[in-house]
Chains A and B, each alone.
Chain A
Amino acid sequence: MDNSQSHLLKQVTWHSYVCFMALTIPILLGWSSVKAYDSPLFHSIPNRNLQNKCQLGLYDLTTNPAFFSTTYPENLASYRFGVNHRESPFHRLFDPKRRQDYQLWIYNINHLSEKITLGASISYQRTDLFRLYRSLEKDFYSEYFALTDTTTGNTTFDGPQVAFLYNYALTSRLNLGLEINYGVEHGLKDVFTKCETIMRNIDLSGGLGWQTRNGKFAWGVFGRYFNNQRKYEAVKELQDALVKTYFGYHVFKSENPRSTNRKNDDRLGYEVGGQLAFQNIGLSGLQLLLASSLGAKSTEVSVGSVTSPEPKGYHLQEGQHFLTNLGYFPKGKSGCSLLYERNQLIDWVESGAYNVIIVEFRETAQHLRLRGIWEVSKILELTAGYDWAEYRDNYKEFIQIFTSLQTRLNRAYFVETRLQLNPILTGFYRLEIGSAEPFFYWNTARINSKALEFGIERLGTFGKIAIAVNLGQETASGYPHTNQLLGFSFKYWR
């Protein structure tokens, strides 16, 4: 369920995550973090598919569950464990100085019959945020209404997530797909206000996919509904660690000291979309996908006492997503693909007390991804890639006038080599270099990144085992210290 889990991968609006887009996803070896936290309006395209390959199928690209069985025609069972450690001497004000993520993930794909395919996954995730300055949020910068107190502490978030996918062939050419993602997560800060966060997230999608008999043409439609709730409870000891609510990033309100300060965060949203896919038209191995979707997502926030919290505001995000992918894989593994993605997001935030807009944000994001895979010989495979992304952002706060107009460019290059050392052992490494122009609150012009992932893969009697180590570095311009990333992952699959 890599991709179904990646449904919950992009947890935040584009502007807050993109700066490390190129770097962190490969480092995480495809597995994501923060699943029960939120659902993004549009899913990000994963770097690799469930089988850890760069060549993506229709399901990976569109998340339409009707295409699941055709994207993954083989049964698959996988067990994965990963740890990531991040030291961030350069960070935003309300970010942790250190972060550790753990994930245990089991997923299974079973083709029960010619008509029925089932996918299921269960995972457990834990995130430790160390030396987190004041923020009571998991990601302060992804919220327009965020809570802080006056302490610096460590916060732990953990919880299980499950995903279930059902694929049924209504006719020989028409497929029905249903997918459910559900997660709960619990967070606790270790110093007063000892803020406890309870999160629940459900993400449902259903789709239809139709394919011609020769497989040259396919279309699909899908719809998605998601619903997320969070409750925060910040308590006090004898002295108050004053709780504040931020409206945007510059204006805040000190909440009245009380035994418990409660924040309620209710979200819901939908997405509808359609896809057209062509294959082997004119040229054998040529693939073309056109996909588009639109959606909206609302967030309603109230803060105050447990019994009568005051409405703080309402946030609506509307967006359009367009994707096209051109691939050419004539024979075997060798081939190349070019992906273009365009997202348009409009956010507006209404005051909880008055019928006025307090924050407005517009973003147009374009993303170009080029991949080339060359099977040099039966034992050597080379992959190279280039990512380019442009973001045109217009962020405005109106309580106190603040405007940020930015056009940002992110780039990343990578090269990956897989070498079969002997019939059962394969070694691989991946080297990536990227640079990103981050959103204004990073307070730096550019962040450069380097990442290296290396490991071995061994074929055993019952399946394959892979062990990988990830190393990464980030350097912000004008800042002397370097952020360090270290990760380890273990995977078994058959």
Chain B
Amino acid sequence: MVKKVIFIGLAFLWMAGCFREKPTAYDSTFKITLYVKFRDDSLGYNQFLKDVRVRLKPIDYNLAALTAITDDSGKVIFEDIPWAKYDLEIRSTAWVPFIDSAGTVVPDSFISLTVVDTANLISPNAGGVVVDTIFTIAATSLPGIKINEIYYCGPENNQFYFYDQFIELYNSSDQTLYLDGIIVCRIYHMSTWVTYIFQFPGKPVIGREYPIQPGQFVVLAQDAIDHRKIIPKSIDLSHADWEFVNSLDFGDWDNPAVPNLFNLKAGNNKDFMINLGTNVILIADGTDTDYANGIDLATVIDCVEYSSLSDHIKDIEKVLDRGWAGVGMQKYSGASIERITPGFDTNNSTVDFVNIKPPTPGYQH
């Protein structure tokens, strides 16, 4: 009997050992120190920025964002903040010395720049103290071929029909540009993770067969048919300019009257279908089609991220798109996202795009 009692006692001691140790640290003790730097190798800038507003939005909790201003050394400190991952955002005007074309700093001469960060997430380390340098770039975007509208959420229907998706391109420059060899990608997560890659015919960069005139819209349809015949509240894409076709997808429509973009990804037997809630669409000049190691950022022409979630975590490098469009979009609502004005581009889809209904393939809302 004594042995049994001892055994039971030991069993309970073992039970007590099953529980975890109490942590020694408490929440709201996390500290982040950031140095904000503006870097532009082509112009010769590499300096810390003062008086720049830095905003941290917690990802792990629905809490208000934290803001602070950098000091003279470009440093900003967030102390005693919740342990969480933070989405960092810098969108601020900064004064930097003027550097002339010879690369010389002109004394007492400053220029104003709108700078944006290139960082994605800040995560706590084990010690709860993070020190990092944040590089910013100038928030400018040159005119050119832009992704002007994306219709992804499907028409109003209860049959899960979404094959009327389209992407609209726009030439915002004052020159004729060419679509030859341009690739259109669906990105899953960061530029290294390409889900679909389709390409225009022609030779990248040098091809001159498929022009897009200044101010012209070009519609790339998933299936270039009149979808209203299937879903009455859908749209007519039978007059689209281009159509995504995958020869391995035997059920894919191919309108012979519409030229095709072709699948480049080996083994992909799907049409160019994009997510109804969250995704990234990227177009690049087509000089890098080796999708396995990601798309070379230098070749990217335009990139748009969309998500229906206001607290979405970025799926693409901020240097390509600092925000995301489509917040609040419902699946199967028959709405699309379109730039505020044709070709309007600040590299931040949150401000560049609006949700519209109905979609406007080939024209501006």
Q: Which residues of A contact B (CB under 8 A)?
A: 170, 206, 208, 221, 223, 225, 238-239, 244, 247, 251-254, 256-257, 268, 270, 272, 296, 298, 314, 316, 348, 350-351, 353-358, 360, 398-401
CB-CB under 8 A from B28, the residues of chain A are 398-401
Stretch with Cβ within 8 A of A (4 or more), from B57-65, B136-144, B318-326, B342-350: B57-65
Complex partner residue of A268 from B18, B27, B82, B309, CB under 8 angstroms:
B18
CB-CB under 8 A from A253, the residues of chain B are 60-62
* Known A-B contacts A254-B62, A398-B27; A350 and B20 likewise in contact (beta carbons under 8 Å): yes
Q: Does B102 contact A (CB under 8 A)?
A: no
Q: Is the CB of B26 within 8 A of A398?
A: yes
Q: How far is the CB of B79 from chain A (nearest CB, A)?
A: 13
Instruction: List 10 other contacts, CB 8 Å, given A223-B12, A351-B83.
Output: A225-B15, A252-B62, A270-B12, A298-B20, A316-B20, A354-B83, A355-B126, A357-B23, A398-B28, A399-B61
Query: In chain B, residues 2-34, which have Cβ atoms closer than 8 Å to a Cβ of chain A?
Result: 5, 8-9, 11-12, 15-16, 18-20, 22-23, 25-29
Q: Is the CB of B124 within 8 A of A400?
A: no
CB-CB under 8 A from A357, the residues of chain B are 22-23, 25-27
Q: Does B332 contact A (CB under 8 A)?
A: yes
* Known A-B contacts A358-B27, A400-B28, A400-B82; A206 and B8 likewise in contact (beta carbons under 8 Å): yes
Q: Cα distance A400–B83 when bound, in Å? A: 10
Closest to B125 in A: A354
CB-CB under 8 A from B20, the residues of chain A are 298, 314, 316, 350
Q: Does B308 contact A (CB under 8 A)?
A: yes
Complex partner residue of A399 from B18, B82, B311, CB under 8 angstroms:
B82
Query: In chain B, residues 87-136, which have Cβ atoms closer than 8 Å to a Cβ of chain A?
Result: 124, 126, 128
Q: Does B277 contact A (CB under 8 A)?
A: yes
Complex partner residue of A238 from B15, B83, B331, CB under 8 angstroms:
B331
CB-CB under 8 A from B332, the residues of chain A are 238
Complex partner residue of A252 from B15, B26, B61, CB under 8 angstroms:
B61
Q: Cα distance A272–B309 when bound, in Å? A: 49
CB-CB under 8 A from A354, the residues of chain B are 27, 83, 124
14 contacts between A and B (CB under 8 A): A208-B5, A238-B331, A238-B332, A252-B61, A252-B62, A254-B62, A256-B309, A270-B15, A270-B16, A298-B20, A316-B22, A356-B26, A356-B128, A399-B27
Closest to A397 in B: B27
CB-CB under 8 A from B175, the residues of chain A are none
Q: Cα distance A252–B5 when bound, in Å? A: 46
CB-CB under 8 A from A350, the residues of chain B are 20, 22-23
Between A170, A206, A351, A356, the greatest number of chain B beta carbons within 10 A of the residue's beta carbon is seen for: A356
CB-CB under 8 A from A254, the residues of chain B are 62, 311
Q: Is the CB of A272 within 8 A of B12?
A: yes
Complex partner residue of B23 from A225, A270, A356, CB under 8 angstroms:
A356
CB-CB under 8 A from A353, the residues of chain B are 60, 83-84
The 8 closest A-B pairs by CB, nearest first: A398-B27, A354-B83, A270-B15, A356-B25, A356-B27, A358-B27, A355-B23, A399-B82
Q: Is the CB of B8 within 8 A of A356?
A: no
Q: How far is the CB of B352 from chain A (nearest CB, A)?
A: 24
* Known A-B contacts A238-B332, A239-B330; A296 and B25 likewise in contact (beta carbons under 8 Å): no
Encode contact with A along B249-278: 1 for CB under 8 Å, 0 otherwise.
Answer: 000000000000000000000000000010
Q: Cα distance A348–B19 when bound, in Å? A: 12
CB-CB under 8 A from A348, the residues of chain B are 22-23
CB-CB under 8 A from B16, the residues of chain A are 270, 296
Q: How far is the CB of A177 from chain B (nearest CB, A)?
A: 13
Between A206, A253, A298, the greatest number of chain B beta carbons within 10 A of the residue's beta carbon is seen for: A253
CB-CB under 8 A from B128, the residues of chain A are 356
Encode contact with A along B71-93: 1 for CB under 8 Å, 0 otherwise.
Answer: 00000000000111000000000
Closest to A354 in B: B83
CB-CB under 8 A from B15, the residues of chain A are 225, 270
Q: Is the CB of B61 within 8 A of A251?
A: yes
Q: Cα distance A272–B9 when bound, in Å? A: 9
Q: Is the CB of A257 within 8 A of B309?
A: yes
Q: Cα distance A302–B25 when bound, in Å? A: 21
CB-CB under 8 A from B62, the residues of chain A are 244, 251-254
CB-CB under 8 A from B18, the residues of chain A are 268, 298
Q: Cα distance A354–B128 when bound, in Å? A: 9
CB-CB under 8 A from A358, the residues of chain B are 27
Q: Cα distance A252–B332 when bound, in Å? A: 29
* Known A-B contacts A225-B15, A296-B16, A400-B82; A356 and B331 likewise in contact (beta carbons under 8 Å): no
Closest to B83 in A: A354
Closest to B8 in A: A223
Closest to B313 in A: A256
Q: Cα distance A356–B128 when bound, in Å? A: 10
Q: How far is the CB of A395 from chain B (nearest CB, A)?
A: 14
CB-CB under 8 A from B126, the residues of chain A are 355
Q: Cα distance A364–B16 when bound, in Å? A: 22
CB-CB under 8 A from B124, the residues of chain A are 354
Q: Is the CB of A356 within 8 A of B309?
A: no
CB-CB under 8 A from B61, the residues of chain A are 247, 251-253, 399
Q: Cα distance A281–B16 when bound, in Å? A: 38
CB-CB under 8 A from A238, the residues of chain B are 158, 330-332
* Known A-B contacts A257-B309, A268-B18, A350-B20; A356 and B29 likewise in contact (beta carbons under 8 Å): yes
Encode contact with A along B26-62: 1 for CB under 8 Å, 0 otherwise.
Answer: 1111000000000000000000000000000000111
